[in-house]
Structures are given as C-alpha cells and as structure tokens.
Amino acid sequence: MSQIALPLEQTPSPDHDGYLVTAANAEVHRHLQHWREWSHHTMILTGPEACGKTTMAASFETESGGLCLDEASDTEDTEIFHLWNRANSEQKPLLLLSAKPVSKWGVLLPDLKSRLAASLLVEIGPPDQAMIDGLFQKYFNSRGLTISEDALRYLEKRMIRSYAMVQSLAQKMDALAIEAKKPINLAIAKSALEFFDAGDEKVDS
C-alpha cells in the first residue's frame, strides 16, 4: 500500500500519491493493510473533511482490488445494501467512507442496519503535530517549495488544529508567497494566520 511514514525528512516526491502515517491515523492504516481480516469483508471509515480518506481509499483499491464507496452517508440504503452483498458474494473487501458517523446516516433499511453494525468501524482522529507538520511539508514539496522550521513552530502554537485549517493555511501561504515572490517563511505564516484570525474567511474545523 502506498503511504509515507514520518520522520519528516523523508518527504514525498512531487508525483507521489501516498499518505502520511502518524498516531492520528495509524490504526486506520493498520486495518487497511489487513483487509483480509475485516468482519464481513467490510470496513466503515469516518473522519473530518480533508483528513485523507479519499487518498487512503485510492491506495486501498490499488492494493486490494476491493470496492469503495465515497460519501456513503449520502447514498441510498438499497445501493449500499447491494454493494455489501456483492462484496461478500465475490469475497472482495468493501470500504465505506463518510465524514459523518454511522449514527447520522439516517439508515432505515433494517437489513442494512444489521450489516453495518456487524462491520468494522474505524475513525480518523484529529491531526497530531507530526501530521500537521507533515501535511504542510507534503503540500509545499509537491510544488517544489519548502516551509521554514520557524514558520511551522509559529503555526503550531496558534492555529486551529484541524485538517481543513491545514489545507486552507497551506493554500493561503502559497498564494501569499507567490504574490510577494518570497519563500514560505515566518512572515508568510504570520500573514496567512492573521487572514483567518481576522475572519476574512471561515474554515470548518
């Protein structure tokens, strides 16, 4: 399975489509590697927006040849039910993705409720500092850039700790650096964080 383990010195190449593994998602990564052990061949993976579910799913599909359903919470009960039955009939693993917990999917079909309840359920936790640093480095590395250590440490103490904020801050720092024709340094990090602290743009946590 394609993935990028820390330490951060081992940064991904620009064309690498892997994902970082830290304590925040280590359990998920372990279960994805051992898909043959899933109860009823099915795993439900939940987690907040921008936490890497789609990238992890892409690696899973390549490695296992299994089935994957994105945004399962927005899918009709019958479609999920048939997909679950197909996976078990064909002895293929099925990965269901959702930003919402299963309790909020609004499942009405009794047979589907029982099948989901019997499936493996794993959640991606909030980003730890290793994940935050790694995501910033991966974002800028993919653009042939680097982010300075003092910029990372400044953001570490002040930013909202969420995947969505990491993504938004990285995009803002990138734009500011291009505009100022400067590297991603402490000044750029301060300006980007001030942009969000001032309420110029809302980021869901």
CATH number at residue 29: 3.40.50.300
Same domain, 118 and 146: no
Structural domain includes residue 203 = no
Same domain, 164 and 105: no
Q: What does pTM read for this prediction?
A: 0.83
Return the percentage of the chain with pLDDT > 70, whole number.
88
User: For 204, what's the count of Cα atoms within 13 Å in the CB-facing half-sphere?
Assistant: 5
Q: What domain count does the chain have?
A: 2
User: For 205, what's the count of Cα atoms within 13 Å in the CB-facing half-sphere?
Assistant: 7
Structural domain includes residue 179 = yes
DSSP-assigned letters across all residues of 88-134 = HHTT--EEEEESS-GGGS----HHHHHHHHTSEEEE-----HHHHHH
Structural domain includes residue 13 = no
Tokens of 146: 């680097």
Same domain, 29 and 119: yes
Same domain, 117 and 154: no
Structural domain includes residue 6 = no
Question: For residues 129 and 156, is the Cβ–Cβ distance under 8 A?
Answer: yes
Q: Give residue 136's domain range.
A: 129-197
The phi, psi pair for 140, rounded to 5°, reads -75, -30
Same domain, 76 and 137: no
Structural domain includes residue 4 = no
Same domain, 71 and 146: no
Same domain, 33 and 105: yes
The CB density around residue 198, as the number of other CB atoms within 10 Å, is 8
For range 92-101, the mean pLDDT: 96
Same domain, 103 and 193: no
CATH number at residue 136: 1.10.8
Q: Considering Cα of 42, then 43, then 49, then 50, what sign does the dihedral take?
A: negative
Structural domain includes residue 91 = yes
Return the percentage of the chain with pLDDT > 90, whole number.
83
15, pLDDT greater than 50:
no
> In the predicted model, what is the mean pLDDT of the chain?
88
Helix axis angle for 53-64 and 26-33, nearest 10°, is: 20
Same domain, 32 and 119: yes
Same domain, 95 and 57: yes
Same domain, 33 and 117: yes
Same domain, 77 and 97: yes
Confidence of residue 3 (pLDDT cuts 50, 70, 90): very low
